[in-house]
Amino acid sequence: MSMGNVMVLAGRVGKDLTDTTYELIGKARELAAAWGGRVEVALFGTADPAGTLGAADVVVNIDHPALSDYVPEAYEVALRRVLAERAPRLLLLSNDTVGLDLGSALSVLWDAPQAAYVIELSADGDAVVATCQILGGKILAEVVIDAPRAIATVAAGSFPAAAGQGTDGVEVVTLTPPAELDTTRVTLRQIIEPTGGDVDITAADLLVSVGRGVGSKDDLETVQELADALGAPLSASRPVIDAGWMPKSRQVGKSGLKVKPKAYLSFGISGAPEHLEGMREAELIIACNTDAAAPIFDVAHYGTTIDLFDLVPALVEKLEG
């Protein structure tokens, strides 16, 4: 329990752990190495997924019926116990509804400064240096925390998951559930899954994405033909969704979905920060926009200023011909 330990809260979706869990463990390894500490993962509910946490040094488990699904009150009680017992230097949470609930509560209860909307983290001597998004990513602020303990809530997709994946055996420490878990006042009634039926754009290797530059719902058909010819789903920027031309499940960006395809082909998308937030991790970005100054070209690996209505039909012809 050295002062240099880094604790990661494992995020769960049903039985599985979230990708972000592994992203945080990978970064935790780097930070713990700099501080001569260890990586510990707090895992609540059944310890079954501990087998996938081999990149950590220790899994700290608390199992109790109140922890089988995420309930803020119960998780807060459990995490306070873990922090009191293990005294990490830094607690890493995902910057989602869970992490934002717990981060702000524990910042007060555990008396630790919190950096939120974090996209980069490093160690500078004993201090934690965090790059945080402000105003939806329009401004990046560098925050240096040299308090003895700190909390960072980190945006999904900020670090590669591979560095945090491992199947080596890991030491599992089981803590006695705090008595307060028997008397929590909040219970989870029901999880309402989003209605499915549509494609999952976050799982696609190739995405064809369309923005307001397409002009109208009818003209979407042109780009849809290209997507069909490539066997890729069509995704979109927010104005296309807000106009009702495509379902919300296809929206890429801050208030939509974060995608990481092998290739992202964008047509008529300007590249606003809220859009880039959802797709800048794509391995290859190819952009078509008639405005050479459009910010999408700052992140694109290849780009063209050809009018999409000239380019897309020509591509379709080439693919089908």
Ligand X SMILES: Cc1cc2nc3c(=O)[nH]c(=O)nc-3n(C[C@H](O)[C@H](O)[C@H](O)COP(=O)(O)OP(=O)(O)OC[C@H]3O[C@@H](n4cnc5c(N)ncnc54)[C@H](O)[C@@H]3O)c2cc1C
Q: Does 255 bind ligand X (CB under 6 A)?
A: yes
Q: Does 270 bind ligand X (CB under 6 A)?
A: yes
Contact (Cβ atoms closer than 8 angstroms) between residue 110 and residue 80:
yes
Q: Does 269 bind ligand X (CB under 6 A)?
A: yes
Is the dihedral angle over the CA atoms 62, 64, 68, 74 positive or is it negative? negative
* Minimum separation from the CB atom of position 245 to ligand X (A): 11
Question: Closer CB to ligand X, residue 80 or residue 212?
Answer: 212
Q: Which amino acid is it at 34?
A: A
Distance in angstroms (rounded) separating the CA atoms of residues 36 and 21: 21
Distance in angstroms (rounded) separating the CA atoms of residues 319 and 321: 6
Question: Closer CB to ligand X, residue 89 or residue 250?
Answer: 250
Name the burial class of residue 199, with classes exposed (0-12), middle (13-18) and buried (19+) by CB atoms within 10 angstroms of its CB: middle
The site that binds ligand X (CB under 6 A) totals a number of residues, namely 28
Which of the stretches 67-75, 155-163, 183-191, 206-214 binds ligand X when contact is defined by CB under 6 A?
206-214
Closest residue by Cα to residue 250 from 288, 278, 276, 286:
278
Pick one of 45, 99, 253, 261: the residue that binds ligand X (CB under 6 A). Answer: 253
Name the burial class of residue 165, with classes exposed (0-12), middle (13-18) and buried (19+) by CB atoms within 10 angstroms of its CB: middle
Q: Does 285 bind ligand X (CB under 6 A)?
A: no
User: CB under 8 Å to 118, separation ≥6 — which residues?
Assistant: 95, 130, 131, 132, 133, 152, 153, 154, 155, 158
Query: Which pairs from 293-296 meet CB under 8 Å and 24+ separation?
Result: 294/270, 295/270, 295/271, 296/266, 296/269, 296/270, 296/271
Residue number with the shortest CB distance to ligand X?
Answer: 253
Q: Does 272 bind ligand X (CB under 6 A)?
A: yes
Q: Does 309 bind ligand X (CB under 6 A)?
A: yes
Q: Does 303 bind ligand X (CB under 6 A)?
A: no
Which of the stretches 4-12, 14-22, 28-36, 233-241 binds ligand X when contact is defined by CB under 6 A?
233-241
* Minimum separation from the CB atom of position 135 to ligand X (A): 9
Pick one of 54, 72, 113, 136: the residue that binds ligand X (CB under 6 A). Answer: 136
Q: Does 235 bind ligand X (CB under 6 A)?
A: no
Question: Closer CB to ligand X, residue 145 or residue 246?
Answer: 246
Q: Please give the structure tokens belonging to residue 263.
A: 């290739």
Residues that bind ligand X (CB under 6 A): 136, 211-213, 237-239, 251-256, 268-270, 272, 274-275, 278, 288-291, 294, 307-309
